């Protein structure tokens, strides 16, 4: 039996969760938390968080199967290299995940999509730690 085109099996995760709008909502809510966070906010020296927000939106869109605008404009993500100038310790990891958890919860994703997204985000946050505990 042939599966008709346009079914969930044919869609990327990006499409299944609502496309660009979903990722823009996620990242905007995340940066609302970052803007008020005394640990994370100093990692963004520019006054306007808009450019950082846009970079994360484009990265996540590409990662989850949407347009490749991030790589077309910025090249390979090189996440650890791009974050190397910042102290990313367990406290920063925890703060990042706290704000991302709030943002994910507000999306109201289907449970399987929420689990898949959260698994990636927790893995990514752990991968970014570059300062060991003392």
> What is the extent of the structural domain holding 73?
13-128
Please state the rounded mean pLDDT for residues 101-120.
98
Q: Residue 77: what pLDDT?
A: 63
Please state the rounded mean pLDDT for residues 34-44.
94
* 7 belongs to a structural domain: no
* 60 belongs to a structural domain: yes
* 2 belongs to a structural domain: no
Task: Tell me the residue length of the chain.
Answer: 134
**What angle do helix axes 20-35 and 90-107 make, rounded to 10 degrees?**
130
In three-state secondary structure terms, 77 is coil
Residue 131 φ then ψ, to 5°: -130, 115
* 123 belongs to a structural domain: yes
CATH of the domain at 110: 1.10.490.10
Average pLDDT over the chain reads 89
> Based on the structure, what is the number of domains in the chain?
1
* 1 belongs to a structural domain: no
pTM of the model: 0.86
pLDDT at 80 over 80: no
Q: Across 18-22, 39-43, 77-81, which has the greatest mean pLDDT?
A: 18-22
* 69 belongs to a structural domain: yes
């Amino acid at each position: 039996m042939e599966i008709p085109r346009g079914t969930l099996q044919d869609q990327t995760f990006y499409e299944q969760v609502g496309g660009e709008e979903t990722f823009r909502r996620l990242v905007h809510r995340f940066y609302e938390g970052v803007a008020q966070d005394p640990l994370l906010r100093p990692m963004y020296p520019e006054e306007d968080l808009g450019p950082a927000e846009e970079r994360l939106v484009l990265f996540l869109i590409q990662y989850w199967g949407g347009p490749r605008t991030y790589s077309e404009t910025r090249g390979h993500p090189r996440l650890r290299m791009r974050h190397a100038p910042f102290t990313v310790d367990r406290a920063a990891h925890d703060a990042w995940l706290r704000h991302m958890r709030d943002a994910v919860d507000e999306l109201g994703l289907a449970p399987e999509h929420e689990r898949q997204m959260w698994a990636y985000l927790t893995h990514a946050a752990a991968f970014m730690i570059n300062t060991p505990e003392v």
